[in-house]
Amino acid sequence: MTFNYQAEQLHAEQCSLERLAQQFGTPLFVYSQQAILRNWQQFAAHWPAPHKLCYAVKANSNLAILQLLARHGAGFDIVSGGELARVLQAGGRAQDVVFSGVGKSHDEIAYALEQGIGCFNVESAAELERINDIAAAHQVIAPVSLRVNPDVDAQTHPYIATGLKANKFGIAMRDAKAVALKGQALKHIHMRGLDCHIGSQILTASPFLDAADRMLALVQELRAEGVAIDHLDMGGGIGIPYQHESQPDIASYLHILQQKAAAVGGLTLLLEPGRAIVGNAGVLLTKVEYLKPGEDKNFLLVDAGMNDLIRPALYQAYHDIVPVRQASGAASALVDVVGPVCETGDFFGHARHLSAQQGDFLAIMNAGAYGFTMASNYNTRPRAAEVLVQGDQATLIREREVLEDLWKGERLLPEERT
Q: How many CB atoms lie within 10 A of CB 320?
A: 15
- The gap between the terminal CA atoms of the chain, to the nearest Å, is 68
Q: Please name which of 120, 107, 69, 113 lies closest in space to residue 91, comparing C-alpha atoms.
A: 69
Q: Would you call 236 helix, strand, or coil by DSSP?
A: coil
Distance of alpha carbon 199 from alpha carbon 237, whole angstroms: 5
HSE-up (13 A, CA, CB side) for residue 406: 13
For the residues of 36-104, what is the DSSP string, one character each? HHHHHHHHHTT--TT-EEEEEGGG---HHHHHHHHHTT-EEEESSHHHHHHHHHTT--GGGEEE--TT-
Residue 418 CA to residue 416 CA, distance in Å, equals: 6
Choose, from 15, 119, 196, 342, the residue flagged as catalytic: 342
Q: Is 15 a catalytic site residue?
A: no
188: left (phi over 0), alpha (psi -120 to 50) or beta: alpha
Are the beta carbons of 75 and 52 closer than 8 angstroms?
yes
Task: Give the amino acid at 166.
Answer: A
User: What are the residue numbers of the active site?
Assistant: 342
